[in-house]
C-alpha cells in the first residue's frame, strides 16, 4: 500500500521562527545540503539549519537532492546558543519520507519566499555583518526570489551568484553544498545567452547579468550567514532550489 504524502501547512508568514521544542520528529524539505544544510518544516514553514561544525553529515543531508523530503529527529542542543544562527538545531537521525504533492511544495515555497523588505539582506547592507551586532532576534537564513527569476553563476575557484532583488544588485559566494548541487546538474543551467533564448525573450542592457551560467528553470536562492571570520559573518548562497 502506498504511503500517504507528507502534509504541508497552508499559510505561512515569512520568517516564522521555529518552535521552542528542542526534540521530536520534524518533516522537512531540504533547501541546502550539508555541511551547511537548511530545511523547511512542512508543518509550520519555519527554517531549520545546521550548527557551526555540526557532525550530523548524514547521507540524506549531504547527498539529498533539492527539495528532498526528510524527517529530522531532533535532540536538545548541547552547544551554547549562537546568535548568528537562531534557527540551528541538533539532528540525531535523518530518514527519507514521502514527498508532498508538487502543488503543496509550490504553495509552501511561495509562502516562505515572501516579499523583500528592502532593508538589506538578513538585516543589513553589504556582503557581511559584524558578529558583535548579532543578537539572535532576526533570521540568519532566508529564501529569496531573484527579480525576474534570473540569477547568474560565475567563477572558477569560488562560484558566486549574481542577482537582483528590486533595484539592488547582489553578488554572493556559493557555499560548498550549493556549488556541489550546481556542478552535479541538480539545477539545469546554460550559458547566459542560451538561457535568455531558452526563456524566449531578448534582454535590455540594463537586465544583463554578464557572462556565466544561468538556470533554465525558475529558482529560489537560500541565503544565510556563514561562520564568523575576523569578527565578520559573510552572507552566502547556501542552496539553490527549483521554484516548482
Instruction: Choose the final residue of a domain: 107, 126, 143.
Output: 107
**Do 123 and 74 share a domain, yes or no?**
no
What's the structural domain count of the chain?
Answer: 2
Q: How confident is the model at residue 52 (pLDDT cuts 50, 70, 90)?
A: confident
Rounded percentage of the chain residues whose pLDDT exceeds 90: 53
Instruction: Choose the final residue of a domain: 107, 135, 154.
Output: 107
| Higher local confidence (pLDDT), 223 or 137 | 223
User: Which CATH number fits the domain that encloses residue 41?
Assistant: 2.40.50
Look at residue 194 in the predicted model and tell me its pLDDT: 55
Structural domain containing residue 84 = 24-107
Look at residue 206 in the predicted model and tell me its pLDDT: 39
The overall average pLDDT reported for the chain is 84
Length of the chain: 244
Mean pLDDT, residues 108-124:
80
Distance CA 46, CA 192 (A): 33
**Do 38 and 148 share a domain, yes or no?**
no
Give per-residue pLDDT as tens, 7-39.
Answer: 887 777 666 767 665 578 999 999 999 999 999
**Do 132 and 35 share a domain, yes or no?**
no
Rounded percentage of the chain residues whose pLDDT exceeds 70: 81
**Do 166 and 199 share a domain, yes or no?**
yes
**Do 162 and 177 share a domain, yes or no?**
yes
Q: Which residues contact 216 (CB under 8 A, 6 or more apart)?
A: 188, 189, 190, 195, 198, 199
Q: Which residues contact 170 (CB under 8 A, 6 or more apart)?
A: 121, 161, 162, 163, 164
Whether residue 118 lies inside any domain: the answer is yes
Give per-residue pLDDT as tens, 79-95.
Answer: 677 889 999 998 889 99
**Do 119 and 90 share a domain, yes or no?**
no
Whether residue 15 lies inside any domain: the answer is no
Look at residue 57 in the predicted model and tell me its pLDDT: 56
Whether residue 117 lies inside any domain: the answer is yes
Whether residue 6 lies inside any domain: the answer is no
Q: How far apart are the first and last CA of the chain?
A: 27
pTM for the model:
0.88
**Do 208 and 103 share a domain, yes or no?**
no
Look at residue 109 in the predicted model and tell me its pLDDT: 94
**Do 75 and 152 share a domain, yes or no?**
no
Q: Which residue has the cell 499559510?
A: 11
Whether residue 68 lies inside any domain: the answer is yes
**Do 225 and 148 share a domain, yes or no?**
yes
**Do 117 and 99 share a domain, yes or no?**
no
Whether residue 3 lies inside any domain: the answer is no
**Do 175 and 84 share a domain, yes or no?**
no
**Do 131 and 215 share a domain, yes or no?**
yes
Look at residue 204 in the predicted model and tell me its pLDDT: 47
Whether residue 8 lies inside any domain: the answer is no
| pLDDT beyond 60 at 199 | no
Distance CA 99, CA 105 (A): 9
Instruction: Choose the final residue of a domain: 65, 91, 107.
Output: 107
Whether residue 76 lies inside any domain: the answer is yes
Amino acid at each position: 500500500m502506498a504511503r500517504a504524502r507528507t502534509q504541508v501547512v497552508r499559510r505561512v508568514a515569512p520568517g516564522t521562527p521555529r518552535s521552542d521544542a528542542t526534540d521530536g520528529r520534524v518533516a522537512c524539505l531540504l533547501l541546502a545540503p550539508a555541511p551547511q544544510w537548511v530545511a523547511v518544516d512542512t508543518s509550520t514553514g519555519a527554517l531549520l539549519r545546521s550548527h557551526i561544525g555540526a557532525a550530523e553529515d548524514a547521507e540524506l543531508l549531504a547527498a539529498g537532492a533539492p527539495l528532498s523530503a526528510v524527517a529530522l529527529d531532533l535532540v536538545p542542543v548541547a552547544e551554547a546558543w549562537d546568535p548568528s544562527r537562531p534557527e540551528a538545531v541538533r539532528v540525531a537521525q535523518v530518514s527519507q519520507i514521502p514527498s508532498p504533492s508538487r502543488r503543496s511544495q509550490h504553495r509552501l515555497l511561495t509562502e516562505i519566499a515572501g516579499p523583500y523588505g528592502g532593508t538589506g539582506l538578513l538585516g543589513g547592507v553589504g556582503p557581511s555583518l559584524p558578529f558583535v551586532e548579532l543578537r539572535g532576534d532576526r533570521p540568519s537564513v532566508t529564501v529569496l526570489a531573484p527579480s525576474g527569476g534570473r540569477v547568474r553563476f560565475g567563477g572558477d575557484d569560488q562560484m558566486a551568484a549574481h542577482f537582483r532583488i528590486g533595484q539592488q544588485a547582489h553578488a554572493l559566494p556559493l557555499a560548498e553544498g550549493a556549488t556541489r548541487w550546481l556542478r552535479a546538474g541538480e539545477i539545469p543551467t546554460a550559458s547566459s545567452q542560451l538561457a535568455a533564448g531558452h526563456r524566449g525573450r531578448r534582454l535590455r542592457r540594463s537586465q544583463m547579468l554578464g557572462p556565466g551560467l544561468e538556470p533554465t528553470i525558475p529558482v529560489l536562492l537560500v541565503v544565510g550567514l556563514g561562520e564568523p571570520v575576523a569578527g565578520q559573518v559573510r552572507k552566502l548562497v547556501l542552496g539553490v532550489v527549483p521554484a516548482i
